[in-house]
Amino acid sequence: MDLGLTGKRALVCGASSGLGRAVAEALAAEGVHVALLSRDAAKLQVVADGINAAASGRAVVVPADLADHAGLLAAVDTAEDLLGGPIEILLNNTGGPPPSGVAGLDPDLWRAQFESMVLSVFRLTDRVLPAMRAAGWGRILNVASSTVIEPLGILGVSNTLRAGVAAWAKTLATEVAADGVTVNTLLPGRIDTPRVQKLDQARAEQTGVTAEAARATSVESIPVGRLGDPAEFGAVAAFLASPKAAYVTGSLIRIDGGAIRAI
């Protein structure tokens, strides 16, 4: 299926690995020109080189730290200069905090994580929205987590802040829908990424088992019987970014192999 994305311009956060990389590759395969953003310029360049060698779109590198808001906004300026026009597709994708509960956490930890996981999303979106609304077309995609629906005790900070982003996104969707801009939030379950591998290791240390055993136990809870492939996540994101998904907005999209038990 041709998704009708050829020539569109996208900014993908967290594009050096994992879910962000998968989305960047999926978009580029559909002919999107993609700006890749994360802190690690060297890793981004590897991803860009792969995309430019294999895909019908093209990729440019714009290193930035999500916690550095001035640098982040400057990176958007650079991305638009390199891509030749305003950003039309934005993937908000922030790193997850260390595993923890929520009781008694240092307020400075909450502030730091809010800056990088939440406020950066608001700032980036506010930066690109005016041009999207003026053009009558745009796509805002936010990567959250299945824990927005079913919180996990070991991911207290992530549970809290990602739920806030989901609520913000639902509110924003109603404000910009009439302008041709959609806003959707992706809820990945256990996708086979470095982040999930780290969480397996943390669970293993907490329970006194091996990482392999922790991973096997979690797989048993997934109805499809396996971890997700990042490319599967990327394919869903590419569809939601396309003109064909124009009637999907304000939604929480589960990509979890059926693991969420709630209706």
- Render pLDDT for 106-160 as a digit per residue (tens, 0 to 9): 999 999 999 999 999 999 999 999 999 999 999 999 999 999 999 988 899 999 9
Residue 208 has pLDDT above 80, yes or no: no
Q: What is the mean pLDDT of residues 159-184?
A: 98
Query: Is residue 206 very low, low, confident or very high in pLDDT (cuts 50, 70, 90)?
Result: confident
- Render pLDDT for 10-67 as a digit per residue (tens, 0 to 9): 999 999 999 999 999 999 999 999 999 999 999 999 999 999 999 788 999 999 999 9
100 against 142, higher pLDDT: 142
Kindly report the three-state secondary structure assignment for every residue of the chain. CCCCCCCCEEEEECCCCHHHHHHHHHHHHCCCEEEEECCCHHHHHHHHHHHHHHCCCEEEECCCCCCCHHHHHHHHHHHHHHHCCCCCEEEECCCCCCCECCCCCCHHHHHHHHHHHHHHHHHHHHHHHHHHHHHCCEEEEEECCHHHCCCCCCEHHHHHHHHHHHHHHHHHHHHHHHHCEEEEEEEECCECCHHHHHHHHHHHHHHCCCHHHHHHHHHHCCCCCCCECHHHHHHHHHHHCCHHHCCCCCCEEEECCCCCCCC
Query: Is residue 96 very low, low, confident or very high in pLDDT (cuts 50, 70, 90)?
Result: confident
